[in-house]
Structure formats: C-alpha cells, structure tokens
Amino acid sequence: MKIVFFGSSSFSIPFLEALKEDTVLVVTMSDKPQKRGKNLFPNPVKKRAIELRLPFVTVEKFDLSCKARIESVFPDLFVVVSFGKIIPDYILSIAQCALNLHPSALPLYRGAAPIERQIMDGVTKSAISVMVINEKLDKGSVLLKQPLEISLDDTREDVEQKIINMGIPLLKQAISMVKDGNYSEIAQQGKGSYAKKITKDDELIHWGKDNVHIYNKIRALCPLPASFTFFRGKRLKLFKANTLVLNKGVPGEIIDLLKEGFVVQCGVGALLIKEVQIEGKRRICASEFINGTRLQIGEKLG
C-alpha cells in the first residue's frame, strides 16, 4: 500500500522507519524557532525524512496546495503517529482509510499528552489503540486495541519505548487488515477524558502536594521537558526520586542528606531526590549536587 505518514515528534520516528518502504510522502509540521533564537529548525520527523530520502511536505495550516501535493502521490492509506494537528475532512477523503496510533485505552485520555497525563494520574492499566481517524479529536472507531501495563516506576521515556515495541507490530497488523479489506470498526464506548497539552505550570513542582503526586509528575516529564523547582534562585530540574514515609518538616524543606541523594518534605510524605540538573549545568546524580553546592539540611526548595 502507498502510505502517507503524518508525524512530528521524536516518538513518531521509529514508526516512520518501520513503514519507510511503503511511505510515498511524509507530512509534518513547519519549522519552528527554538528557545530564544530567531532561526527556524526542522522537527525530528522532517530531519529523519531527509536522512531516509523520503519526500515530505511541511504544514502550518492545511490548504489547497497541501491537498494537491498529497493527491499527487495517489495514496492508499494515511498513517498518523504524534502529528499534533487535526486533519480536515477534505484531506482525509484523499485516501481509502486513515489510521492513528493513540497511546491510551480510548475513549480515555484523548488529546495532546496522553502518556504524560496517564503517568501523572498513576494509571497502571492502559492500552494502545489503532483507530480510524475522523475530523473529531481522537473520536474515531477503533480497529485494534492491545493492553499496556505501566509500572509505578516507569518514566515517560520508559512508557514510550513500551508503546514503540508493541505499537509497531500492532500498526502493521492494522495496515494488513485494511489492505485485505478484512476489518471491522468498533465505536468508542463509555465516557471519555481529555489529556490536555503540558504547560509550564504542569512542569513546576508544588511541594504542598503529597509525595505520590509529585513523584508521578517527575516520572511523567522525564527526561523532557522535566519537572522543576527553584534552588537558591535558580531553576532545578528533577529526574529521579523515591517516595518516603516521613513527615518532619514544612513542604519544600530539605530534611535529610543521604548517600543516594537529599530528602525533601512534601505536603504528605517526603521524596528522596536522586538525579537533578541546576540551571546552566549538566544533569548529575544528587550526591554530586550535594557536594558541589554544600547543600544544608533546613534549606528550602520552591
């Protein structure tokens, strides 16, 4: 089948690589400025498409020229993985079918950040869904669904790798079903939920929350964009932690220094912080951070 692949993030790349032999066009988001610079930079999918020598088109907004470019390759199928934009009906109608791999048990966690939001909520039983796309956000019929276990110590990076390992064969199975015309669509059942985009406020640690809430936030945003707090007026990113049953200080207070790291009091319980990155420096283990900053019991974060 001739596939047009839609994707924009680094998560999309293994799926693109797995389907490259049948991919006749890559559709991805336009170049964006990074940080404070004015220069435009390609997203990871565009860079990989260039490396794979696959034709591509970038879109800021779908228009008739984009429609014409997609029509020119006479696609049989659209495959969408972490694209980041709703595809309008007049584009969807070009192909026989449009499939989307979504990392949740639909209709739960529709939207922009399903992996992060599930980890933040402490979800352990999830699924990978392959659905037929319509113009409504993640509300299409489901072709295939496979259970996904999320461990309580999995980071976002860990969960993404699980989804890649399981999702590539699942997506290939769905493509074969469409190719053979041997598939049935199952409408999503039950009340849905929305996984809204991660914001800077989501990244900020609020030490008045309980330790499980903060721990889940740390692993949900690891390694990128990473949760953060403030230490001596500088931003401090947190990457690894363990929960502890301790209550002997005020929220945000350093209450102990251990070989593995430093202990911070939360609203309920405490966290052992094991890996950090202070603003302008590299990511390091917390014991190195303790020695380098001469961290003291009684100092406060936040």
Domain ranges of the chain: 3-195, 200-293
Q: What CATH number does the domain located at 200-293 have?
A: 3.10.25.10
- Cβ-count burial 268-295 (b if 16+ within 10 Å, e if not): ebbbbbbbbbbeeeeeeebbebbeeeeb
pLDDT at 235: 98
Whole-prediction pTM: 0.94
Cα–Cα distance measured from residue 80 to residue 185, given in angstroms and rounded to the nearest whole number: 17
* Residue 221, φ and ψ in degrees, nearest 5: -110, 15
Which residues fall within 8 angstroms of residue 35, CB to CB, at 6 or more apart?
none
Match 């319509």 to its residue by tokens: 134
- Enter the CATH code of domain 3-195: 3.40.50.170
Q: Do 246 and 297 contact (CB within 8 A), yes or no?
A: no
pLDDT number for residue 38 = 67
The rounded Cα 204 to chain-centroid distance in angstroms is 17
Residues in the chain with pLDDT < 50? Answer: none
Beta partners for residue 253, in sequence order: 300
- ∠ Cα 51 54 112 (to 5°): 85
C-alpha torsion sign, points 236, 241, 245, 246: negative
Tell me, what amino acid is at 264?
Answer: V
Q: In the chain, which ranges are continuous DSSP H helix?
A: 13-18, 44-51, 64-71, 89-92, 114-120, 156-180, 200-203, 211-220, 286-293
- What pLDDT, on the 0 to 100 scale, is given for residue 130? 98
pLDDT at 112: 94
